[in-house]
Amino acid sequence: MSALSWSGCTNVRDLGGLPVEGGGTVRHRTLVRADSLTRLDAEGLRALEAYGVARVIDLRAEAEAAAPAHPWAGGPSYRNEPWVDVSLDADATLVDFYLGSLDRNADRIASVVRAFVDAPPGAVVVHCAAGKDRTGIVVALLLLAAGVPRRHVVDDYVLSESALEIDRLLAGLAPADRERVEAFSRSRPETIGAALTHLDEGYGGVRAYLRDPCGLSENELTAVRTRLVGANGGR
């Protein structure tokens, strides 16, 4: 995987190069994760267009996506797949958000997976606002469905914390505010790990979750691997 320099965004990675169980790697220019593409400046937009992007999947809620306008909104390559919000009480943790999101977003996740599989040839960009939580969940599911070992999926998830310069953000906060903000800003391995354990214990694993509550067929799950890895094991 490699960080991409799309000016205006800070958390953009091509997942190409990740190993796949049974041999091979994820193909480059196939799956890209990002923070909101509304942050791109003119130079960043040129980089996006030059990358051969076939589809953009925006996970932000409709109100988030309304303003500022998405640079690809209204075009045939743009899909807004708004994540179902999870109500959290004052004592809730980021793990609670992840578990609730998985339980409540099965239909949305199925729609996102189909939008990924059905995209024209080229890179598919998945993004939300920061490219960390909603995007992190979706990317983890796609990679695991394709056979990327869990440790590599977790390693990718953790990278968002440094890409977003969370330490610099936290340094400017008052101590009273820092603990809560930090708890929701970090991309700790135990956070995504808890979400994946939830899928194992509650649904029988990632593929079973995608197949049963999400309603994806075995052919669709196979298509995820085929798109990400290719018939010859990637390159």
Assess if residue 232 is contained within a domain: no
Assess if residue 233 is contained within a domain: no
Assess if residue 132 is contained within a domain: yes
Assess if residue 234 is contained within a domain: no
**Residue listed under structure tokens 């991409």:** 4
Listed in order, strand segments (DSSP E) in 73-225 are: 78-80, 123-127
Helix (H, G, I), strand (E, B) or coil at 106: helix
Residue ranges of the chain whose pLDDT lies below 70: 169, 231-235
- For residues 224 and 6, give the distance between their C-alpha atoms in angstroms, rounded to a whole number: 26
**Residue listed under structure tokens 């290719």:** 230
State which amino acid sits at residue 142. L
Count of CB atoms within 10 A of residue 123's CB?
22
165: alpha, beta or left? (left if phi > 0; alpha if psi -120 to 50): left
Domain encompassing residue 143: 2-225
Count of CB atoms within 10 A of residue 9's CB?
22
**Residue listed under structure tokens 């189909």:** 114
**Of 165, 158, 108, 166, nearest to 138 (Cα)?**
108
- For residues 144 and 6, give the distance between their C-alpha atoms in angstroms, rounded to a whole number: 26
pLDDT for res 4: 97
Here the tokens at position 229 are: 């890895």
- For residues 38 and 23, give the distance between their C-alpha atoms in angstroms, rounded to a whole number: 37
The tally of domains found in the chain comes to 1
Q: Alpha helices of 24-133 — where are they, by DSSP H?
A: 42-50, 62-66, 94-104, 106-117
Asked whether 227 and 147 are in contact (CB, 8 A), the reply is no
Assess if residue 231 is contained within a domain: no
pLDDT for res 7: 98
Name the maximum alpha-carbon separation found in the chain: 54
Residue 128 known to be catalytic: yes
pLDDT for res 31: 98
pLDDT for res 82: 95
Active-site choice (128, 129, 199, 206): 128
- Phi then psi for residue 84, to 5 deg, are -75, 125
pLDDT for res 233: 55
- For residues 226 and 228, give the distance between their C-alpha atoms in angstroms, rounded to a whole number: 6
The domain that holds 63 is classified in CATH as 3.90.190.10
Helix and strand tally (H, E) in the chain? 11, 6
